[in-house]
Copies of this chain bind each other. A is one copy, B any other.
Amino acid sequence: MYELIEELYPICRSITGNGVRQTLERISQRVPLQIHEVPSGTQVFDWTVPREWNIEEAFIDDADGNRLIDFANHNLHVVSYSVPVDKVCTWDELKTHLHTLPDHPDWIPYRTSYYKDNWGFCLAHRDLDRFKAGPFRVCIRSSLTNGSLTYGETVIPGATDREVLFFNHVCHPSLCNDNLSGNAVLAELASRLRERQPRLTYRFVWAPGTIGSISWLSRNQAVVPKIHAGLVAVLLGDAGPFHYKRTRTGAEEIDRVVEFVLAEQGVATKLRDFSPYGYDERQFNSPGIAAPVGRLTRTPNGEYEQYHSSADNLDFVQPDYLEESLRVLERVVTVLEGNVSYRNTAPHCEPQLGKRGLYGSTGGTQPKKREHAMLWILSFSDTQHSLLEISARSGIDFDVVRAAADDLLAAGLLEPCT
């Protein structure tokens, strides 16, 4: 995962353009993706897919021809979606187009201007010293043309068409935690899932933030009702505690499962109710979509100092944290796979476990844990309780409950609820 991040780090991504295409191509080498292009001007719900932005070169020179800022050195130097410009201007004009972080004089901020024609440069505050009286030559060789918005997805079909969606954004340029960590962890998770025969169908989407999820939802309205559980899984490479942000209702299976897994795994955890700002969970939880999609991050957006700056770099994310995040997500998948609600097929009194070889035949001894789990499952498999609920209620480990359910299934004592 860390290697993929290193590979993707130099690419200049935005919400459209070749940076996204290159990124999806590299991910596709790990897990084959279907690539979709949505033409500029396409109406997607209340929004319109914007023109495609690409950039070749950008710099500011002083009157003596010294290059003060060069996009070639760091792709955060240019405000994303800057319109092309090539002119000489005074300091007074130029300074309104410069962005710095005075509190972190060495860091370059990350800025965008997607929906308003504008241009700008970002730089380390310290480097303002290099700007003398002017005039300055400002040059951005960018293009804003009719093209398309690009996203990639892969579907791993399961025994049922009920879907689990993992969504992450790919629109940030050289920023590692936000968003490359999510891109890499989900690529690895998808790659591992392809080797399984899952019960549920898994869908992974890599798309630009906001306009990407809106475009995807607009084109996949028939998929929405099949989304049984989902996660926006991003910002997974830093040292911070896991933050799970609940779905809008806070009462979905994905809420129960993620909260269970985080507690079970003993990792540092903070739980938050849904709020309508953040990442693409905003779109999935809008009242007209209402898909049960939560969000899993480590430290959330805006809550670490390096956020949206050049300090969110290859030092800030670490392999160990990526591994831990992957482990949590894999366990979420395992629990979702196993968390079925059953109907007891012999619901009148207890079925006789002994004659099926499922129970000790000598009374008076303490029944073992798996036998206990069988009794709990039989008692609560009234179609109203899932195995996770039975595990929570009985205090018996989920894996023991799952194994006991398998024994009962094999004996014909359970059938899954559809």
Cβ of A246 within 8 Å of any chain B Cβ, yes or no, is: no
Determine whether the beta carbon of B277 is less than 8 Å from that of A110: no
Interface residue? A214 (CB, 8 A): yes
Q: A350: CB under 8 A from chain B?
A: yes
Count of identical protomers in the assembly: 3
Task: Tally chain A residues at the interface, Cβ within 8 Å.
Answer: 60
- Chain A contacts with B in 326-364, Cβ cutoff 8 A: 344, 346-352, 354-355, 361-364
Cβ–Cβ contact A349 & B276, under 8 A: no
Given the known inter-chain contacts A282-B350, A344-B288, A378-B286, please indicate yes or no for A116 contacting B361, CB distance below 8 A: yes
Instruction: Say yes or no: B111 contacts A364, CB within 8 Å.
Output: yes
Selected from B112, B217, B347, B379, the residue in CB contact (under 8 A) with A363 is: B112
A381 near B287 with CB under 8 A, answer yes
> Per-residue 0/1 for A210-225: is the Cβ within 8 Å of any B Cβ (1 yes, 0 no)?
1001100110000000
Contact with B along A44-64 (1 / 0, CB 8 A): 111100000000000000000
Contact of A364 with B308 in the complex, beta carbons under 8 Å? yes
Kindly state the separation between the CA atoms of A323 and B349 in the bound complex, as whole angstroms. 32
Q: Is A114 an interface residue (CB 8 A)?
A: yes
| Chain B residues whose C-beta falls within 8 Å of the C-beta of A376 in the assembled complex | 275-276
The answer on a CB contact under 8 Å between B47 and A113 is no
CB distance from A102 to the nearest CB of B (A): 15
Given contacts A115-B354, A364-B308, is CB(A379)–CB(B344) below 8 Å? no
Which B residues are in CB contact (< 8 Å) with A113? 361-363
> In whole angstroms, how far apart are the Cα atoms of A355 and B376 in the complex?
56
B363 touches A287 (CB 8 A): no
- How far is B289's CA from A214's CA once the two chains are assembled, in angstroms? 49
- Could you tell me the distance in whole angstroms from the C-beta of A66 to the nearest C-beta in chain B? 29
| Cβ contacts under 8 Å, A297 to chain B | none
Is A372 interfacial (CB 8 A cutoff)?
yes
Given contacts A113-B361, A277-B367, A361-B116, are A285 and B379 in contact (CB under 8 A)? yes
Please tell me which one of the listed residues B46, B287, B352 contacts residue A47 in the complex, with CB atoms under 8 A apart: B352
* Contact of A348 with B286 in the complex, beta carbons under 8 Å: yes
Chain B residue with the shortest CB-CB distance to A379: B276
CA distance A290 to B349 in the complex (A): 9
- Interface-centre pick from A286, A287, A346, A349 (highest chain B CB count, 10 A): A349
Query: Is B46 touching A352 in the complex (CB atoms < 8 A)?
Result: yes
Residues of B within 8 A of A208 (CB): none
Are B217 and A349 in contact (CB-based, < 8 A)? Answer: yes
A375, chain B: closest CB distance, angstroms: 4
A407 at the interface (CB under 8 A from B): no
Partner-B contacts on A (CB < 8 A): 44-47, 109-116, 118, 210, 213-214, 217-218, 248, 273-277, 282-283, 285-290, 302, 308, 344, 346-352, 354-355, 361-364, 366-367, 372, 375-376, 378-382, 393-394
A-B contacts, 18 listed (Cβ < 8 Å): A45-B346, A46-B348, A46-B350, A109-B364, A110-B364, A111-B362, A113-B362, A115-B352, A116-B361, A213-B349, A214-B349, A218-B348, A276-B379, A282-B379, A286-B347, A286-B350, A288-B349, A308-B364
